[in-house]
Structure 1
Amino acid sequence: MATPRVRCDQAAAWSLLRQHFDKGGRGFDLRQAFAQDAGRFAAFSQEAPHVFADLSKNRVDAEAQALLVRLARECGLEAHRDAMFAGERINTTENRAVKHWLLRAPRIAGDGDSQAVHETLDAMLAYAERIRADAGITDVVNIGIGGSDLGPQMAVAALDSFVTPGKRFHFVSNVDGHELAAVLKQLDAQSTLFLIASKTFTTLETMTNARSAKAWFEAQGGTDTARHFAALTTNVGAARAFGITTTFGFWDWVGGRYSLWSAIGLPIAIAVGADGFRQLLAGAHAMDQHFRTAPLESNLPVRLGLLDVWYRNFHGFTSRSIAPYHSALRRLPAYLQQLEMESNGKSVDTEGRALAYGTSPVLWGEPGTNGQHAYFQMLHQGTDTVPVEFFAVRRPAHGLPVHHDLLLANALAQAQALMQGKADAGGHKNFSGNRPSSFFLLDALTPASLGALLAMYEHRVFTSGSLWGIDSFDQWGVELGKVLAQDIAPRLATGDAGGLDPSTAGLLQRIRGA
């Protein structure tokens, strides 16, 4: 039975937070807060496994933070968290447990799921090592979509300095044939390994790309499908019918956007090796333990999730910008978009009741310093206040002089400028300041630190979703468009517009040239 939860707007602390916001939170000024409290940086910064977070440049004071913690307790956050780690079926709309955390936990004696996880992990990593040692395989192509693409693609890019030499990694997700065609032009069939990532082996986009990849492989003279294709799926029969004999499965308690820790992470394992992949898991597990055991007041994922509630539901901020000051983290914004918006982009609670408050903000961003020369104009002088999250790494993975100091200087300066602003009587050069940001600092970008950072975000999303009273682990919103696409696809060939709305019918005829 699911653990009882209290929706945030039904908790006593909710009205107290509203009173506090109306009294002082609405007009909170970061510059005054620092002037009045010399210890603000220390009080609003925190060390967690592999991650240092400076939250001091956020519009929150000690009283608001204390009330948010009280809200979390009144909503039953701790019990909900413990229920997840106990394997209860907290994904209520699909009647599933949520156990992605088990994928990175050490082997648990007597736990059947843990045993299965480690058997699959060992087999997958042994296969990854064979591929790494196979000089005949120079290119690895991952074909998947959503969580079967975004996580592995982001992680392989992030860990580029750890990637084995002599192999190139490609990711194909879009059903748009231009993407696959562009990758195939770079390949030799005899030296390419295709990884088909689909739990059911029926995902429309993935299987369309997989069939086209196989047709290309055969047209190029390829005959050994078993050597050049592997499947990350639970549908072993369908994979075998496709010609694939090497398969690695996962479980229904692993959501797609939480799956890079599973067999879906095979491209990561091939890229960084078995030891590197185990370090990724270990970093995530360390953050799991922090989230599981640290008091709410000093629990970094909890503090971040509570800040999200404070900003979304009291300040009314509708978006958040992700600014990684490390080019290897260039796919982090896209990965976090799915993690947060697919998890918490909901408008009803777990009972199906409409919500009277906002949930997931819009996440967006680009790597710095590129973003500074694109959208930072709006962040500094636009009419909307957008909290920004900076990511920086103390030690670079390259030896080029000057570059890293300039990169870090820009990150620090942009956060400083957003907060401090600058007065200009003419108006055009006026920076209002008091614009909030968070700053995350890693000593180095390693498999362990990346694992911890990603797990921190997973638990942050869990925290805000828990307080909002929603199911953060389903994603029914992606289904309707898929169903309609199945209906429309054959109409493109026949021209049948019967039953379609006038706009869709008109576009259909326009596309067909009718």
Structure 2
Amino acid sequence: MTKATASRTQLPEWQALEAHAQTLSGTHLRDLFDRDDQRFDKFSLALPHFLFDYSKNRITEETRDKLFALAKAVDVEGWRDKMFAGEKINRTEDRAVLHVALRDPSDEPLVIDGTDVRPEVQRELGRMRDLVERVRGGQWRGYSDKAITDVVSIGIGGSNLGPLMVTEALSAHADGSLNVHYVSNIDGSQIADTLKRLNAETTLFVVSSKTFTTLETMTNAKTARQWFMDNGGSESTTNRHFIAVSSNIEKAVEFGVDEDNIFAMWDWVGGRFSLWSAIGLPIALNLGFEAFEDLLAGANEMDRHFVEAPLAENAPMLLALLGVWNRNFLGYRAHALLPYDQSMHRFPAYMQQAEMESNGKSVNWAGERLSYGSCPLIWGEVGINGQHAFYQMLHQGTDIIPADFIGSITSSNTMPGHHDALMANFFAQTEAMMRGIDADQVRAELKSKGMDDAHIEAIVEHKVHPGNRPTNTLLLHKLDARTLGALIALYEHKIFVQGIIWQVHSFDQWGVELGKVLAAGIIPELEEGKSNPGHDASTRNLINYYCQNK
């Protein structure tokens, strides 16, 4: 696409959607349902692991067709095929984007820069399996010949959030043979709280850093190493207690990790899409390698669905296009993720990173400023807790915030009465956000309770719920490893599709780098107790105030 036609807003398909949005501006969701009792059948998909209901969006069949036309116009399917073929679609870093290869059991060659990466992936999976079985089986022994009881995963960003989220989400499936802990924050409180509960003789550390120079990760790793030395460890036994996941073998060996205990990271896998690789070692150690394989298998099933299903039946395409519709044509600037399952409490944070780090960009492929919105603000919390916190705003606030509701038919626990009560709220909230309650309904309700007319009129507007709030419902059959793998892959592909439509580079993260570079320069200033005069007045004085008072 030339610079003259770079903006998506110049596409006839985009302009058709803008005009179409105007025709729907006065249409309420409850009217769409009242007019068509087949709406659910038209706007839902039954997939192997979950039901996807998108009928509570402000769309018609015409809307969907126009969104498909936009996807065709920007060649989403062609770009998808390029990604799966290993073409270097991460153009700012000249890299392929192949996290999908990590969960593909195919032995068909996949060549990048003259190397078939399939054998590399299978080799690392085999090494992971061997390590997991030795640690979980008690064959891997610590320096005092005791079996490992605790694993500490040290990483940050994608090296932390993915494994942490999965470990928490599938905690009901863990057998308890190993306790897995996660440390990411450079704030010393987190690692101090973790280490004080552990025994150095029976603790294994997994340090994940592609460069093995990441400030937060290496600061925590050095603290862990010193703690190990202070509690009976030695240089000669470090290799029994430290594993590395890195592409910088030299740095990891220098740290004290045996080369046989260093697992690969590839530049064609972005950190926020890396839990399928050796970054997922803590998952496999916690759940067992078979469960990790189920996670991969579920993701691969969604990959195949994404590649093979036609647009009208393609869940990632639909989820992405609905997000574009809400963001760019209805003007909604935020999106909430609301899991109704306590074990999925880290899912919103994980997807927040995945979406906002990928598509939180403001220039297009041609390097021009976008004239339309890209990634909305992604946020969320466990749904049932949110009902007593921020749902007030979702129902009656001045901003409309679309939301994804995620729940399960089968609970991970067996507490009688709990799950039906939870799911009653799950179903009620999406209905309330769609339908709302108008002034006449409020008056009738209050009148039935015997309230006088004057009091009714004084409060009626405060009790009106406008409704017309779009939601998606993802109803899982049960939350297990295979289902979770499919769910994560669904959102990964949503991110990809939206990046193509918005014409942003989804697989770099230059916005993460600037603050890190500046922080590296400030550390010596804090150690010396004086700021560099090159800072602005605010930063300079803040640093000086800190140094003078610490």
TM-score range, shorter chain: over 0.9
Partner of 1:446: 480
Partner of 2:538: 503
Deviation at 1:445, TM superposition (A): 0.6
Rounded to whole Å, the distance in 1 between the matches of 2:525 and 2:123 is 46
Partner of 1:215: 226
Contact 1:103–1:117 at 8 Å: present in 2 too?
yes
Rounded to whole Å, the distance in 2 between the matches of 1:418 and 1:513 is 52
- Matched position secondary structure for 2:204: strand
What are the superposed Cα offsets for residues 264-302 of structure 1, whole Å, 9 maximum, x if unpaired?
Answer: 000011111111111100100000001011111211100
Deviation at 1:27, TM superposition (A): 2.2
Rounded to whole Å, the distance in 2 between the matches of 1:14 and 1:109 is 38
User: Structure 1 residue 121 and structure 2 residue 125: aligned?
Assistant: yes
What are the superposed Cα offsets for residues 134-177 of structure 1, whole Å, 9 maximum, x if unpaired?
Answer: 27211110000000000000000011111131321111001111
Question: Is 422-431 or 175-184 further displaced after alignment?
Answer: 422-431
Deviation at 1:513, TM superposition (A): 2.1
Rounded to whole Å, the distance in 2 between the matches of 1:456 and 1:354 is 29
Query: Which amino acid is 1:124 matched to?
Result: M
- Matched position secondary structure for 2:351: helix
Rounded to whole Å, the distance in 2 between the matches of 1:155 and 1:478 is 24
Rounded to whole Å, the distance in 2 between the matches of 1:493 and 1:120 is 41
Rounded to whole Å, the distance in 2 between the matches of 1:154 and 1:496 is 39
Rounded to whole Å, the distance in 1 between the matches of 2:47 and 2:356 is 24
User: Structure 1 residue 373 and structure 2 residue 388: aligned?
Assistant: yes
User: Structure 1 residue 147 and structure 2 residue 158: aligned?
Assistant: yes
Rounded to whole Å, the distance in 1 between the matches of 2:108 and 2:55 is 42
User: Structure 1 residue 512 and structure 2 residue 512: aligned?
Assistant: no
Partner of 2:240: 227
- Matched position secondary structure for 1:28: coil
Deviation at 1:6, TM superposition (A): 6.8
- Matched position secondary structure for 1:141: strand
Partner of 2:210: 199
User: Structure 1 residue 409 and structure 2 residue 409: aligned?
Assistant: no
Give the TM-score normalised by the residue count of structure 2.
0.91
Deviation at 1:190, TM superposition (A): 0.7
After superposition, the CA RMSD in angstroms is: 1.3
Rounded to whole Å, the distance in 1 between the matches of 2:388 and 2:531 is 48
Partner of 1:330: 345
Rounded to whole Å, the distance in 2 between the matches of 1:107 and 1:15 is 42
Deviation at 1:236, TM superposition (A): 1.4
Contact 2:203–2:241 at 8 Å: present in 1 too?
yes
Output aligned runs, 1:72-471, within 5 Å.
Answer: 72-111=71-110, 112-134=116-138, 136-223=147-234, 224-245=237-258, 246-423=261-438, 424=442, 426-471=460-505
Deviation at 1:48, TM superposition (A): 2.6
* 1:388–1:347 distance in 2 versus 1, CA, 3 Å: same
What are the superposed Cα offsets for residues 192-216 of structure 1, whole Å, 9 maximum, x if unpaired?
Answer: 1110000111111100000000001
- Matched position secondary structure for 1:363: strand
- Matched position secondary structure for 2:467: coil
Contact 1:419–1:434 at 8 Å: present in 2 too?
yes
Gaps of 5+ in 2: 111-115, 139-145, 443-456
* 1:278–1:40 distance in 2 versus 1, CA, 3 Å: same
- Matched position secondary structure for 2:167: helix
- Matched position secondary structure for 2:17: helix
Deviation at 1:220, TM superposition (A): 1.0
- Matched position secondary structure for 2:437: coil
Deviation at 1:434, TM superposition (A): 1.2
Query: Which amino acid is 1:503 matched to?
Result: S
Give the TM-score normalised by the residue count of structure 1.
0.97
Rounded to whole Å, the distance in 2 between the matches of 1:80 and 1:49 is 25
Rounded to whole Å, the distance in 1 between the matches of 2:375 and 2:255 is 39
Rounded to whole Å, the distance in 1 between the matches of 2:85 and 2:190 is 42
Deviation at 1:222, TM superposition (A): 1.8
Rounded to whole Å, the distance in 2 between the matches of 1:140 and 1:309 is 41
Partner of 2:13: 13
Rounded to whole Å, the distance in 2 between the matches of 1:6 and 1:262 is 36
- Matched position secondary structure for 2:288: helix
Rounded to whole Å, the distance in 2 between the matches of 1:209 and 1:508 is 23
Contact 2:109–2:117 at 8 Å: present in 1 too?
no
Deviation at 1:103, TM superposition (A): 0.3
Rounded to whole Å, the distance in 1 between the matches of 2:514 and 2:92 is 16
Identity of aligned residues (%): 48
Partner of 2:521: 487
- Matched position secondary structure for 1:369: helix
Gaps of 5+ in 1: none
Query: Which amino acid is 1:31 matched to?
Result: R
- Matched position secondary structure for 2:383: coil
Deviation at 1:7, TM superposition (A): 5.2
Partner of 1:36: 35
Question: Is 478-487 or 158-167 further displaced after alignment?
Answer: 158-167
Contact 1:305–1:461 at 8 Å: present in 2 too?
yes
Contact 2:6–2:366 at 8 Å: present in 1 too?
no
Rounded to whole Å, the distance in 2 between the matches of 1:350 and 1:108 is 33
Deviation at 1:49, TM superposition (A): 3.7
Rounded to whole Å, the distance in 2 between the matches of 1:365 and 1:333 is 5
Query: Which amino acid is 2:481 matched to?
Result: P
Contact 1:49–1:290 at 8 Å: present in 2 too?
no
